Amino acid sequence: MNTMALYLIGDVQGCNSALQRLLDEISFSASRDTLYLLGDLVNRGPDSAGVLRRLMAYGNAAQCLLGNHDLHLLALSQGVRKPGRHDTLNNILEAPDRSAMLEWLRWQQMAMFRNIDGHDLLMVHAGVLPCWTASQTLALACEVEAVLRGPALGDFLQQMYGDEPSVWNDTLTGADRLRVIVNSLTRMRFCDALGRMEFASKEGSAAAPPGYLPWFDVPERQTAHITLAFGHWSTLGWLDRPDVLSLDTGCVWGGCLSALRLGGLKSSGTAPRLAHQLIQVKCEQAQKPG
């Protein structure tokens, strides 16, 4: 492919060799193409540092979201979080270029929006609360981004963790407000009809806890009229709907790493939607989800 291409890429999670094979498969050129990575760039896989160094070298050709594992790395680096049993982040935290990688990471985004071939595309790592519009989601993401890039990073990360409040309210302020935004954008899988989030279940969409739905199936979701792309949910896997594209196909758990070429393609079917083509490579990792 010699024409400019745009690609969405699901959760890499430190699987640098799989990322290399995927980029070879799509004949990626940083001078021509653009990658949109949907978060969880690091952790659990064997070479998180290699992933970050690669993406940093691509410059503007790699547009990256922050996922829960990426925020976890920042929290570890600030000393406000202890390493998890399955973490594989020491090759970043002990690297001579640690400061450069962490500084680059904190300048990545919490949400992205693009119009491609006349179709609106909103990208997040995990989900968008049903009551949020696309413009509200982007504005709230900017609130978190400003804190991540500011002098109060350590204080923010110290207060970021927790499941409450579990529901959004426009009057929320301070740490509570930021926590709900982060939890929606980087952790959410299920919520109820009122937008109350549930974080215990990590199963697929058919295993929703009683009273809960996958966040994208809540009636009257304010972003249902656009396409929403996300990762995070490996047990959901590849989901292809006009309003939803799910790209975490479980690379680090022995599944595939997925890229979705966007636009410039002939659309199939009768429903007007963003044309796309799925490309996958098998990953050699075989860890247990957790």
User: Is 109 within a domain?
Assistant: yes
Provide the residue range defining the domain that includes 38.
6-282
**Mean pLDDT of the 88-103 span:** 98
Q: How confident is the model at residue 264 (pLDDT cuts 50, 70, 90)?
A: low
Query: Which CATH number does the domain housing residue 229 bear?
Result: 3.60.21.10
pLDDT at 31 over 60: yes
284 vs 228 pLDDT, higher one: 228
User: pLDDT tens-digit profile of 97-135?
Assistant: 999 999 999 999 999 999 998 999 999 999 999 999 999
Do 111 and 65 meet the contact criterion of CB atoms below 8 Å apart? Answer: yes
Where does the pLDDT of residue 241 fall: very low under 50, low under 70, confident under 90, or very high at 90 and above?
Answer: very high
According to DSSP, residue 109 is labeled B
In a domain, 94, yes or no: yes
pTM exceeds 0.75 for this model: yes
Decide if 125 contacts 280 (C-beta within 8 A).
no
Confidence of residue 1 (pLDDT cuts 50, 70, 90): very low
Examine residue 27 and state whether it is found in any structural domain, yes or no.
yes
**290 assigned to some structural domain:** no
Q: What is the mean pLDDT of residues 253-266?
A: 87
- How many residues does this entry show for the chain? 290
Mean of per-residue pLDDT scores for the chain: 94
Res 266: pLDDT:
56
Contacts of residue 238, defined as CB under 8 A and 6 or more positions apart, other chains included, come to 246, 247, 249, 258, 278
Residue 290 has pLDDT above 70, yes or no: no
What pLDDT is attached to residue 273? 82
Instruction: Give burial (CB, 10 Å; 0-12/13-18/19+) of 8.
Output: buried
Compute the average pLDDT of residues 151-161. 96
Residue 287 counted as domain residue = no
Instruction: Tally the domains of the chain.
Output: 1
β-strand pairing of 256-262 with 276-282: antiparallel
Q: Which of 64, 17, 94 is nearest to 257 (CA)?
A: 17
Does 288 fall in a domain?
Answer: no
Residue 209: DSSP 8-state: P
What's residue 285's pLDDT? Answer: 61
Question: Are 109 and 145 a contacting pair, CB within 8 Å?
Answer: yes
Q: What is the mean pLDDT of residues 243-253?
A: 96
Query: Does 220 map to a domain?
Result: yes
